[in-house]
Amino acid sequence: MSVDRGLELVEYLKPGGVRRMRRTGTRLALAGTLALSGVMGAALPVGAQAPAGCSVFASDLAQPRFLAVGADNAVYVTEAGSGGSEQIARPAQLPPQVPAASNRGTSGRVTRIAPDGSKRVVASGLPSYASEMEVGGAGGIAVAGNSLWVAVGNPGPLTPFVQPLPADGSVHRVDIASGTVTKVVDLGEMERGSNPDGTLVDTNLYGLATAPNGTVYVADAGGNAVYSVNPANGQARVLATIGGLPSPQPNPARGGRNELDPVPTGVTVGVDGNVYVGLLSGAPFPEGAAKVVRITPAGQVSDAATGLTAVTGVAMGPDRNLYVSEIFRLDLTAQPPAMRPGRVLRVLANGTKQVVAENLNTPNGLAFDRAGNLYIATGSTTPAGQVLRCTAVAGATALPSTGGGLPVAPAAALTAAFTAALAGAALVRRRGAA
């Protein structure tokens, strides 16, 4: 991407420019950022070390998104891939400033990382959509015995205009031993057919977690909905739709109301039986506008944690505290606009926030092993992403592992904060233009 295009994207994010931009899942368009700064081409910023107490557990992952830990302490990671050779003609109905994939293929996959760090591809051939600004595909993941539950997202803004690939917008069961992928339910079809949140038709499945009774919960970042899936018969229902977040400006795509899109991302299930869902928020992604909501099994929605920024991953720790990844923080008041690195926070029951790890490149999924070590998917928008392993973040626990990660015992806050002067950043999920 050219410098001019990168600067164009900065203008696109500013209040008073395009008023509504949403991201497809968590795709951060680093192309313009890299063209201008060149400091986040690897999973860790150039010259930076993994945060204190953390080390690189696995590297060379293609857009790693979410993690789950098995009973044998193997870590499973979804990789969104790199798109493919099929070119997608841009629909004339899409305004030129709306980012959309230009190609697609089946380069997405699920990889198993053994405790010694060795990798094995468990399942491949999953849908992947790409453009110069984004890659999207395989997302949320959970372990269930000898199988995995995997959510595959996209096609995002293209939803009403393109014939979906067979595995698009669906929840799948993957046999760990054979790698066989079986579609269980097509949630993208539910978005196209009933459009639960009543805004524009747009689907991009993202986070996923399982409850102790086996129920699968999935967030549709495009459709602003959270689904409940019966694992026995694949029947799905809308657990809840997520309302808009406060905004100082009217949003034409939300009926002119002063709202940002909520954009549900990460999902975890608490020991209280409630579902906890992170909200990214829409452009311009103001500091403190994001949050985590609590959804009861009956579908009642309330705030669990507020004052967050660009939330992508959530996990409930063995200490029964909530853990949250903020993919980045964008300072639009700086000249040029500055994109600050992401971080992982612990949210105590009284709402107090503690920094667990910072100076992270686009952190996304979180998971814990039984010893209380934290795993973080980083470089989640790069073709050379990593999984970090942070030791002793939580005490040992006998609770079973789920896709949202297990419940963490306090670790010292890390102090290696840095600010990257990055321009041209844009999130690539949008459902309407001014």
Q: Work out the percent of the chain whose per-residue pLDDT is above 90.
A: 65
pLDDT band per the 50, 70, 90 thresholds, residue 35? very low
Which pLDDT belongs to residue 395? 67
Q: Answer whether residue 139 is part of any domain.
A: yes
Structural domain of residue 186, as residue ranges? 3-427
93 or 46, higher pLDDT: 93
Check residue 20 and give its pLDDT: 31
Lowest mean pLDDT among 69-78, 244-253, 305-314: 244-253
Q: What is the mean pLDDT of residues 134-162?
A: 95
297 inside domain: yes
- Number of structural domains the chain divides into: 1
Q: Is residue 433 part of a domain?
A: no
Exposure b/e, 24-55, CB count within 10 A at least 16 = b: bbbbbbbbbbbbbbebbbbbbbeebebbebbe
Residue 34 confidence (pLDDT):
26
In a domain, 434, yes or no: no
332 or 14, which is more confident: 332
Whether 14 has a pLDDT exceeding 50, the answer reads no
Contact 116, 190 (CB under 8 A): no
Lowest mean pLDDT among 59-73, 356-370, 394-408: 394-408
pLDDT of 49:
64
Tokens (6 digits) for 382? 């790069």
State the average pLDDT over residues 73-87: 97
> Is the pLDDT confidence value at 319 over 70?
yes
Cα dist from 69 to 2, 166, 283, 326, 405, whole Å: 40, 27, 33, 21, 7
Residue 43, both tokens: 């999973």
CATH code for the domain in which residue 151 is found:
2.120.10.30
Is 312 a member of any domain?
yes
| 267 within domain boundaries | yes
Report residue 9's pLDDT band, with 50, 70 and 90 as the boundaries. very low
Angle 418-419-424 from CA coordinates, rounded to 5°:
145
Instruction: List, for residues 247-263, the tens digit of each pLDDT value.
Output: 888 888 787 888 899 99
- pTM confidence score: 0.84
